[in-house]
Structure 1
Amino acid sequence: MELLHFTGQVWRPPYEASSQLLQVTAGCTHNKCKFCSLYHGTKFRLSPIAEVEEDLKVIQDYQPRARRVFLTGANPFALSYNRLLDLGLLIRKYLRHCESIGMFSRISDIKSKTVEELQNLRHLGFDSISIGTESGDDDTLAMMNKGYTANDIIEQCKKLEEANIRYNFVYLTGLAGRNKGEQNAVNTANAFNQLHPFTINFVSLTVFPESELYQEIQCGNFVEATEHERLLELRTFISNLCIETTLLGNTVSNTVPFVGMIPNDKVRILNELDSAIRNAGEDELRLYRDSIVSL
């Protein structure tokens, strides 16, 4: 059996489970976020076009009717407009039934592309881009070396909206640290309320030894939020959210999994969180967190 080229760690969002994976990059162009260990030890690598074409030929043989392709790597949207254009045309050449192309992106990856260029990419099928925003609070973003501000999030995602490209956000509870979740939640909700993310995906901070943040915790420079604080932060964020979107909180890192649409399911989700806050013990919740070996 012919094998596809994959280098280092390969991650995809849960909602991309049915998508055909195609490597165009490996690793992360930024690789400075304190909390992240997802691409530990993997240097950023750009897949040669010839290698991508080899993989597409294999996919054409085994999955010729693939309708969606997800480009792997931490942030393939960092590639230049022309490179993405070439990749989109190549995918269309080999997978004629492909309707859309997704990938991870950083906010900074959007900045270099004009609205017109984004519109052209949308015409080629680039859509439903997943963005690891993590927070919309400037203090938290700066502390974690995200490399952009809340205003950057708003400006760049409005460009995506103008180009009719759907996008998905990630919100990382606990990222602000002990006693700072309320501020993080309110400021992030205020930022997100100015936009129209297709989904908001919830992850709860789970620190692994490979991350810079792990070392800061050991030195006492960062104190983790308690599990109950995270649930209260999550509740505050959702209660302050005023837009129509889908909430996906069913990843392994969430002690209280949930899925729903707002505003329709807002009351139900808040009630579920309230129940957990009242009835779940801190030790029980922390024991679950400590049992997580991989995200």
Structure 2
Amino acid sequence: MHYEGKIYRPWMEAHSLLIQTTLGCSNNQCTFCTMFDDKRFSVRDIEDIFLDIEEARRANPHVESIFLIDGNVMAMRTENLLKVLDKIKLLFPELKNLALYSGFNDFRRKSVSELKEMRSAGLTTAYSGLESGDPIVLQRIKKRMTRENAIEGMEMAREADIRVLASFIFGMGGKERSTDHIVNTTSLLNIMKPDAIAPMALAVQPGSELEKEIARNEFTLPSPLQILEEEKYLLENMDDFDCYYWGDHGNNISSMRGAWPAAREPFLENINKQIAYNPVTEKNVIETFAW
């Protein structure tokens, strides 16, 4: 296989075969992120993608899950993305899961009929970064997305029967906007009702704009207690829609995952214990590891 630059995939896709389809991220401005700062966004030549798919088939006798990288694969021209999906479907008839990264705005740049074509071609799941539901936080982190954009993108994906996992970040509002961040994020999730969510604790990436903002005292990191209280608010106030809760990212203070809403009570019991007894709550600033 041939990969260029730093490679990322969701932790849920740890056992998936990775096919590099695009390079970098079409936004690549988010203040908290350095995932793709080593390359400019571009789409790989389709013949090179095909060669990788063919090589992957020769090397792997049985593959049930494939994840397309890099960021915002959905930003590809529909015609070419469909060719990639069709090629994978042809060579991997045993495949059960075919997923990719997609911004909510990337859904909006397609038509529902295009998204339905992708679903028919084998696309099952899209991982989409929400980060926050607070308008001020979204603007500050340069997400180039509004609450309304996220709602529209989610509705289009649902109409096309593409499962969406929405990721967001505890602590993204910093110390000052912790409450606004989690209240608005929870309210947005209740409107969108994604198929799965992946909450992660904020991690400061070396070299990121966020790191510079912290150095200039323009952003104050939240405390571990605030992170736990944000998750508690989410658990208490998220509606009872069917969803899978991937709360077991390595940076999360309280690692939990399970089917929602059945998991609400055991998760709340756990988070309350963390708040009451975990000594990390005595620290003033959250300490997490770079991705």
TM-score calculated relative to the size of structure 2? 0.94
Other-structure match for 1:273: 271
* Contact 2:225–2:281, Cα closer than 8 Å, also in 1: no
Whole-Å Cα distance in 2 between the matches of residues 157 and 208 of structure 1? 28
Q: How does 1:90-105 map to 2 (within 5 A)?
A: 90-105=87-102
Q: Contact 1:28/1:75 (CA < 8 Å) preserved in 2?
A: yes
What's 1:254 paired with?
252
> Is the 1:64–1:97 contact (alpha carbons within 8 Å) kept by the matching residues of 2?
no
For residue 239 of structure 1, the aligned residue among 230, 236, 239 is 236
Q: Which runs of 4+ in 1 moved over 6 A?
A: 283-288
Q: Retained in 2: the 8 A contact 1:64–1:95?
A: no
Counterpart secondary structure, 2:211: helix
1:62 matched to which residue of 2? 59
| Aligned counterpart in structure 2 of residue 221 of structure 1, from 210, 218, 221 | 218
Letter in structure 1 aligned against 2:251: S
Deviation of 1:287 (Å) = 8.7
Tell whether the 8 Å contact from 1:78 to 1:105 is kept in structure 2 after alignment: yes
Q: Which residue in 1 is equivalent to 2:77?
A: 80
Question: Distance between the aligned counterparts of 1:144 and 1:80, measured in 2?
Answer: 27
1:62-103 Cα deviation digits (max 9, x unpaired):
114322221010111111211211111121232232344211
Partner of residue 5 from structure 1, selected from 2, 5, 12: 2
Q: 1:119-173: per-residue Cα shift (whole Å, max 9, x none)? A: 1111111111100111111111111110111111111100111111111010200
What stretches of structure 1 of length at least 5 have no aligned partner? none
Alignment root-mean-square deviation, CA: 1.7
- The residue aligned with 1:107 is 104
Hey, what does 2:150 align to over in structure 1? Answer: 153
Q: Deviations 1:16-70 (Å, cap 9, x if unpaired)?
A: 1222110101211111000012222222232111211111121111114322221
Partner SS state of residue 90, structure 1? helix
1:78, 1:199 → 2: CA distance? 22
Q: Structure 1, residues 171-193: CA drift from partner, whole Å, max 9, x if none?
A: 20000111322221111111111
> 1:220 Cα shift?
0.6
Q: Give distance in 1, aligned partners of 2:62 and 2:70.
A: 23
State whether structure 2 residue 127 is matched by structure 1 residue 130: yes
Cα distance in 1 for residues equivalent to 2:61 and 2:40: 31
TM-score relative to the length of structure 1: 0.93
Distance 2:281 2:93 in 1: 53
Q: Which position in structure 2 is the counterpart of 1:71?
A: 68
Q: In the aligned structure 2, how far is the partner of 1:282 from the partner of 1:60? A: 47
Change in CA separation of 1:286 and 1:128 when aligned onto 2, cut-off 3 Å? farther
Corresponding position of 2:24: 27
Number of equivalent positions: 290
1:266/1:41 CA distance change after superposition, 3 Å:
same
Going from structure 1 to structure 2, the CA distance change for 1:99 and 1:263 (only over 3 Å counts) comes to: closer
Report the CA distance shift for 1:26/1:285 in structure 2 as closer, same or farther (over 3 A): farther
Percent of paired sites with the same residue? 26
